[in-house]
């Protein structure tokens, strides 16, 4: 067998092995059950709430210029939130959305 033929055979085997490995990996991923991402599952709702809160906290840090300033603001009563503390409103998804909307108004200079 020539060295070129040996090389072609080795390359062919390597490509076949990679293709089979990819096909097996794809099949395993397709068969894997999703955990916590089904609508209505407690994990899905909890993860959605957590994502909303995290986005709101990131927005606060952007509006106030630093994470520390945003954390201080969270514990102070806000006029535009009916004198409620933002940290108290973040306990619910609806409250987190209210805080996020308020931060959007603050970013554009609308304080009420």
Round to whole Å and give the CA distance between 71 and 68: 5
Q: Based on the domain organization, do 107 and 61 belong to the same domain? A: yes
φ, ψ at 39 (rounded to 5°)? -60, 135
Q: Based on the domain organization, do 87 and 65 belong to the same domain? A: yes
Q: Based on the domain organization, do 112 and 85 belong to the same domain? A: yes
What pLDDT is attached to residue 44? 75
Q: Based on the domain organization, do 112 and 71 belong to the same domain? A: yes
The top-scoring range by mean pLDDT among 12-21, 42-51, 80-89 is 80-89
Percent of the chain whose predicted confidence (pLDDT) is above 70: 82
Q: Based on the domain organization, do 65 and 108 belong to the same domain? A: yes
How many Cβ atoms sit within 10 Å of the Cβ of residue 19? 10
Q: Based on the domain organization, do 40 and 83 belong to the same domain? A: yes
Q: Based on the domain organization, do 3 and 25 belong to the same domain? A: yes
The boundaries of the domain holding residue 16 are: 1-32
CB distance 52 to 96 below 8 Å? yes
Residue 39 has pLDDT above 90, yes or no: no
pTM of this structure: 0.60
What pLDDT is attached to residue 35? 60
Round to whole Å and give the CA distance between 104 and 112: 12
Residue 85 has pLDDT above 60, yes or no: yes
The top-scoring range by mean pLDDT among 21-25, 30-34, 44-48, 80-84 is 80-84
Q: Based on the domain organization, do 24 and 48 belong to the same domain? A: no
Inter-axis angle of helices 42-64 and 93-107, to 10 degrees? 20
Please, which residues bridge with residue 70 across strands?
A: none
């Amino acid at each position: 067998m020539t060295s070129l033929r040996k090389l072609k055979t080795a390359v062919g085997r390597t490509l076949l092995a990679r293709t089979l490995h990819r096909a097996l990996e794809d099949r395993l991923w397709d068969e894997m059950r999703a955990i916590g991402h089904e609508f209505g599952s407690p994990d899905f709702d909890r993860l959605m709430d957590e994502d909303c809160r995290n986005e709101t906290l990131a927005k606060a840090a952007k509006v106030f210029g630093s994470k520390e300033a945003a954390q201080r603001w969270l514990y102070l009563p806000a006029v535009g939130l009916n004198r409620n503390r933002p940290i108290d409103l973040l306990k619910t998804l609806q409250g987190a959305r209210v805080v996020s909307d308020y931060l959007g108004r603050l970013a554009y200079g609308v304080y009420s």
